[in-house]
Amino acid sequence: MPPKGDRGVKSKASKTALPSVEASTTSATIMEGNSADIDHDKMSASELIKIVLERNKDPSLELLLLSISKKISTEPTRGTTVLDLVLSNSHIISDVSLLPPLFNSDHNVVEFKVSEEIASPIAFPMPDYMRADYVSLNQYLSGIDWLHVFNHYTSATDVYRRFCAQLYAALSKFVPFKTQRLPGLTYPPHLQSLFAQRQRLFDSLSDPLTDPLYRKVCSDVDHHLKKFLANYERRLASKRNLKSLFGFIRQKTRSHASLPVLTDMSGLHHCSDEGKASALGKYFSQVYTVSSRNVGRTAAHECSRFEHGCSDVYFDPSSVLNLLRKLKPSTTEPFDGIPPIVYNKCASSLFLPLAHIFNISLLLGEVPDAWKHAIVTAIPKIPNASLVSDFRPISITPPPIKVMERIIRDKLSTWLDRFHVVPSEQHGFVSGRSTTTNLIDCIHDWSLALNEGKCVDVIYMDLSKAFDKVSHPKLLNKLESFGIRGRLLSWFESYLDSRHMVVKVGRSFSKSYPCTSGVPQGGALSPLLFLVYTADLASFLNTSINIRVRFYADDIKLYGAYSKDNQTVVQSTLRNSVERMMEWASSWDLPVNLSKCVVLHIGEPAPIVYEVNGVALKTCDVVSDLGVLIDSRLSFSGQVDSVVKKAYGALFKLFRNTHISDPKVMVRLYKAFVLPHLNYCSEVWNPTLKKDRRKLEKFLILSNVVSLLTVTAWLDLVASFFSSHAYSVAFSSGTSSITIPSVVQDMLLTLLIDDLNLVHVESFL
């Protein structure tokens, strides 16, 4: 077969498999698949484009096809049928011809030449922190007289600047530089030789696809490549820590391509990394707001609860040391250019100066300027995100501020827990609570209501950009009302003031934007500060015993159960709570996105319409609640279907991209990549219907896991899944005992009879 994009090998043939499109920023070449029902000879390019758009629902594809006006190829590619079509918007495509099919394929190869040069990525020398001499670096840093370095400081910023100057000088001595190579594996010489031989034959032979020698070389390439990948995965699996193996498999099973073509709020499209960074930076900056210092109604009277305030935090060197050692050894560089791996590897020599800097920072009530500059990466909120509004900003801040935040967070959490500031209805970012506990509380209440013949109306409220719109002055007033005073309050004021961010896409950066509101997403303190900001909302909404409210961070739902006797009263009270929610949101500068607020009616009678400010809230039969699909009958059939579909997809990707056959390793990979889809909130949606149980059982039976795992490994895998589900039939393996369905027992018995003798079978049962 022709070369297929091996590293360092260029192919002169291109062909699509199924409807898929690739775009260039300057031109477009489309090869559309499966178009046997189209009469290409009688259709113009614009008519063909309409059909391609209907079959490929992709905004970036629509942008690309709008400019295409030229048909390049309309020759039959499968017998007498045209199944593959080349379209272009420029004259860079030439010499389109057909070649024989690839091996057993029934599609001809479409060959064409591209006259435009493709720019190669520029390789810059970068610090190689993975190969740094950390032993010598620690010795060098341990010999620095930090008290002398910090002598006569003028501010916290000055202290940290002196610290960085010493660290930069040390890194320049013990951290080598490397030129970044292209991503991918480095193949051994024998494989590179086979690649080169295959390329020479393909270029020299007149009909390489039918030549026995060429086919033999292709077969050798396939064999040795699979063997090389299997050995490589085996070496990764032999390590005590399988993190590197998981990372390798994750890289192959997930898309790591750069951001797609982005559309900004004005409808302009951005293809380059520089344009994407600028568009995202502009959008994120527009989300921030400037708030007045008017204090909300709940802040003033809270002060009476706290006679003695919390005003100081001591940063013990041993605590700093422990947190430095727990930092992830990442090489991602923050604003000051010093990655976490340096602090992790040099914890023993840096904890004392950092503890000194932390105490100076709190003493002065000042946060160093470098800690308030964040590099923001855009994370998609939904699959196939293409609008700038579909992304959320995640801030990368210097490691020292992360350590300091964690120490302050622990102190602040203890203080708030002492006075029960965070309400029991809040399940987000609270120790011992999670999405599972949130849903269990709700499902328990709703199930009780259904058992009593009642109905339940659930209203899901959506706060728009809640973390980014937190008012700094009002947050400070909230902190003060909860007893945070003195130096600590001054430190928080400096922490929130004069923050800036730049958006990074690839190697391109946007300009710097001020962050006039919000708490930085990705910071250790941010979740707790948001809980403080919304701490009074639960009591503000709980106006009646008929109404209950549950929170998970900024996900809010209000619900009320009613019978025919009190239906009017409960629904009226629920409307009143929604109005109070709107009032609170307006007072605290957190707008409600009514277009995303929905109503779920659980029970038999027809639901009523809830209106907010003249806008009718949308009523849904199925709602995704914290990642779990909940329907009006609480059957969870939709959730089971969704989970099984995701699990099959994850299993297929895992087996398609792995070459190792060690059953123990495969079980661990299965638990890491497939099992989480099945186990997420399984206590909530544990199936009660036989048809849903069969779907889960079928997944375990029909998956290819059976053919790849030994009996013992298979039993361990089954135990890992069914240990969280209650079934009536018991089964044991070794020292562990689990309950699994009888159909799985039958499958295991058949498997054991095929592979083992009856004595071994009886020993397992």
Q: What is the per-residue pLDDT for 95?
A: 75
Contact by Cβ (8 Å): 276, 510: no
In a domain, 614, yes or no: yes
Q: Which token pair is 654?
A: 């895992």
Tokens of residue 183, six digits: 């991503």
State the pLDDT at residue 61: 46
Same domain, 342 and 484: yes
Cα-trace Rg, the chain: 31
**Residues 194 and 330 both lie in one domain:** no
User: Residue 482's closest CA among 294, 312, 303, 308?
Assistant: 303
266 assigned to some structural domain: no
- 334 backbone dihedrals φ, ψ, rounded to 5°: -80, -165
For 362, half-sphere exposure in the C-beta direction (CA atoms, 13 angstrom radius) is: 20
- Of the three residues 114, 133, 168, the one that is the final residue of a domain is 114
Q: Which of 586, 615, 631 is the last residue of a domain?
A: 631
Strands (DSSP E) contained in 189-264 are: 262-263
Same domain, 627 and 743: no
Residue in 578, 153, 597, 627 with CA at minimum distance from that of residue 361: 153
Structure tokens at 256: 């790591």
Does residue 757 fall inside a structural domain? yes
Picking from 173-177, 225-229, 355-359, 510-514, which range would have the lowest pLDDT averaged per residue?
225-229
Please state, rounded to an integer, the average pLDDT across all residues of the chain: 80
Distance CA 651, CA 675 (A): 9
Bridge partners of 394? Answer: 377
Place of tokens 């004259």: 91
Q: How many domains does the chain have?
A: 5
The three-class DSSP label of residue 455 is: strand
Predicted confidence at residue 247, as pLDDT, reads 82
Strands 611-612 and 615-616: antiparallel
pLDDT, one tens digit per residue, over 312-325 is: 999 999 999 999 99
**Cα separation, 723 vs 643, whole angstroms:** 17
Q: What is the DSSP letter of 424?
A: T
Alpha helix (H) residue ranges in 329-455:
340-345, 347-364, 399-418, 435-451
- CB-CB contact of 612 with 597 (8 Å): yes
Neighbouring-strand partners of residue 375: 396, 502
Containing structural domain, residue 726: 637-764
CATH of the domain at 557: 3.30.70
Tell me the C-alpha distance between 163 and 145, whole Å. Answer: 11
Residue 517 contacts residue 289 (beta carbons within 8 Å): yes
Please tell me whether residues 288 and 331 are part of one structural domain: yes
**Same domain for 538 and 522?**
no
In what helix (H) or strand (E) does residue 665 lie, and over which residues does it extend?
A: helix 663-673
What confidence tier does 183 reach under pLDDT thresholds 50, 70, 90?
Answer: low
Looking at per-residue pLDDT, the higher value among 92 and 555 belongs to 555
The answer to whether residues 351 and 482 belong to one domain is yes
Q: What percent of the chain has pLDDT over 70?
A: 74
- Biggest CA–CA distance in the chain, Å, is 91
Give 700-734 pLDDT, tens digit per residue. Answer: 776 544 444 444 455 555 555 555 444 433 333 33
Q: Which residue has the tokens 């070794």?
A: 734
> Which residues on neighbouring strands pair with residue 462, listed in sequence order?
555
> Are 662 and 734 in the same domain?
yes
d(CA 687, CA 693): 6
Q: Give backbone dihedrals phi and psi of 9, rounded to 5 degrees, phi first.
A: -120, 125
Does residue 436 form part of some domain?
Answer: no
The first and second tokens of residue 507, run together, are 């190697």
pLDDT number for residue 733: 36
Asked if 66 and 201 sit in the same domain, the reply is no
Query: How many residues does this entry show for the chain?
Result: 765
Predicted local distance difference test score (pLDDT) of residue 753: 39
SS3 assignment, position 216: helix
Considering the domain boundaries, does residue 431 fall inside one? no
Find tokens 């490929």 and name the residue. Answer: 56
pTM of the model: 0.79
The number of angstroms, rounded, from the C-alpha of 239 to the middle of its chain's C-alpha atoms is 26
Q: What pLDDT was estimated at residue 710? A: 43
Better pLDDT: 10 or 294: 294
* Measured distance CA(654)–CA(676) in Å, rounded: 14
> What percentage of the chain exceeds 90 in pLDDT?
47
Give a yes or no: residue 147 inside a domain: no
CB 545 within 8 A of CB 485: no
Q: State whether the Cα torsion 360-365-366-371 is positive or negative.
A: positive
- The bridge status of strand 391-396 relative to strand 455-462 is unpaired
Q: Roughly how many angstroms between the first and final C-alpha of the chain, as a whole number?
A: 50
DSSP letters spanning 550-562: EEETTEEEEEEEE
Which residue in this structure is represented by tokens 């050995």? 231
State residue 406's pLDDT score.
Answer: 96
DSSP, collapsed to helix, strand or coil, labels residue 622 as strand
Say yes or no to pLDDT of 497 above 90: yes
262-263 and 177-179: which strand pairing? unpaired
pLDDT beyond 80 at 560: yes
Give the integer Cα–Cα distance in Å for 589 and 580. Answer: 14
Whether residue 745 sits in one domain with residue 702: yes
Q: How confident is the model at residue 42 (pLDDT cuts 50, 70, 90)?
A: low
Cα 369 from Cα 749, distance rounded (Å):
67
- pLDDT reading at 63 higher than 90: no
Q: Whole-angstrom Cα distance, residue 635 to residue 633?
A: 5
3-state SS string over 244-302? HHHHHHHHHHCCCCCCCCEECCCCCEECCHHHHHHHHHHHHHHHCCCCCCCCCCCCCHH
Domain annotation covers residue 8: no
Question: Among 268-272, 497-501, 559-563, 752-756, which stretch is predicted with the lowest mean pLDDT?
Answer: 752-756
Q: Does 376 share its domain with 512?
A: yes
Predicted confidence at residue 25, as pLDDT, reads 38
In a domain, 183, yes or no: no
State which amino acid sits at residue 339: P
Please list, residue by residue across 726-765, b when 16 or more beta carbons sit within 10 angstroms of its beta carbon and e when fewer do. Answer: eeeeebebeeeebebbeebeebbeebbeeeeeeeebeebe
Does residue 611 share a domain with residue 714? Answer: no
- Using the 3D structure, point to which of 114, 137, 153 is the last residue of a domain: 114
Task: Identify the three-state secondary structure at position 220.
Answer: helix
The residues, any chain, with a CB within 8 Å of residue 641's CB and separated by 6 or more, are 695
Six token digits for residue 598: 């929905």
Do 221 and 321 sit in the same domain of this protein?
no
